[in-house]
Amino acid sequence: MAVRRQTDKPGRQGVFRRFNTERTHQQRAGLASWEAFSARWRARQGLPLLSPLHVQYLTPHDFCNGLGHPLPAAEQRRWFRHYICLALGESSPLLGSVQHAMAAPAVSAWEQEGLWDAADGVARDDLAPYERGG
């Protein structure tokens, strides 16, 4: 008697075939893949995330300084909690106490496409626009 794997079920195969043929699904999957890559790269370079929602692709251990060296564990957790609070629309414990480049997220591609609305309190109007030194 042969054992059927879960992936051998016709229903599951049909779902994947449908996803592979849907252009919208492919575009959103590509967008999510890019956002995950960008979030990991930016956190490991000590750069701000493009959107607080991108924290879903990270762990506290991903946060590093500008030289790519891991931050102390407590600071990694602090930055992770900061982005979680912003993603949930809550006030962050870091705002007002620490001015850092990582505290200024921009608009994500999900917001640009209208798939997520920042009007629930996550939008940031408390930081001045970036000014070049010089």
Residue 36 pLDDT class (50, 70, 90 cuts) = very high
- Residue-wise pLDDT for 54-103, tens only, equals 999 999 999 999 898 999 999 999 999 999 988 888 877 676 544 444 44
For the chain, the domains span 10-120
pTM of this prediction exceeds 0.75: no
DSSP sequence for the chain = -PPPPGGG-HHHHHHHHHHHH-HHHHHHHHHHHHHHHHHHHHHHTTPPPSSGGGGGG--GGG-B-TTSPBPPHHHHHHHHHHHHHHHTTPPPTTTTT---GGG-----HHHHTTSS-GGGTTS--SSPPP----
